[in-house]
Amino acid sequence: MHRRTAALPLSLLCAALVCTPLQAGAADTPGAVSASQVQALVEQADALMQQNQYEAALGLLQRAYMQAAAAPAAAARNVLNSLANLYYSTGQLEAAARYYRELGELDTASGDEQGLSVSLFNLAHTLAAQGDHAGADAQFRRSLQLSRQLGDVFPIQ
């Protein structure tokens, strides 16, 4: 799934965790941020993560997170996924689990069942890495059930 590297400094972790949960979809309000603006930040952050520049990537994702509250759900989904992946990659498993859960809530609210299946799968990997095998098993099973309901062409067995 994701490779883990050195943990981010605690100050950066705390700064990201004080953000309130995302409530996307307010894009029809005046002055709203466009999905393309948020996506541009996510893409820049993803490129930095590929270069192991996690602190710089986190700064961009924090900006994207704050802007995504006023953007369509798809933009918010990309931000949450990248944040979760960044924290998983840097060994900050509690933060990764938090964002994978938040992503799952957004997927549920927006009716994105395929996205939810993937979010649950990633959450399960994170829980397993934390040693929560019962929690991981439950999330893997939910992901598998949903994947089968959707007729996934690559079912998990």
Q: How far apart are CA 17 and CA 20, in angstroms?
A: 8
Of these ranges, 12-21, 48-57, 60-69, the one predicted with the greatest mean pLDDT is 48-57
How much of the chain exceeds pLDDT 90, in percent?
61
pLDDT at 11 over 90: no
DSSP 112-155: -HHHHHHHHHHHHHHHHHHT-HHHHHHHHHHHHHHHHHTT-SS-
Q: Cα separations (Å) of 81 from 43, 125, 149?
A: 12, 14, 23
Name the residue among 116, 115, 50, 117 with its Cα closest to residue 85. Answer: 50
Q: What is the pLDDT of residues 108-129, one digit of tens each?
A: 999 999 999 999 999 999 999 9
pLDDT at 73: 80
CA distance 150 to 146: 6
Give the mean pLDDT of 35-61: 93
Q: Is pLDDT at 31 greater than 60 in this prediction? A: no
pLDDT of residue 152: 75
Domain locations in the chain? 29-90, 92-152
Do the Cβ atoms of 27 and 72 come closer than 8 Å? yes
| Dist CA 131 CA 44 (whole Å) | 32
Query: Whole-prediction pTM value?
Result: 0.74
pLDDT of 9 reads 40
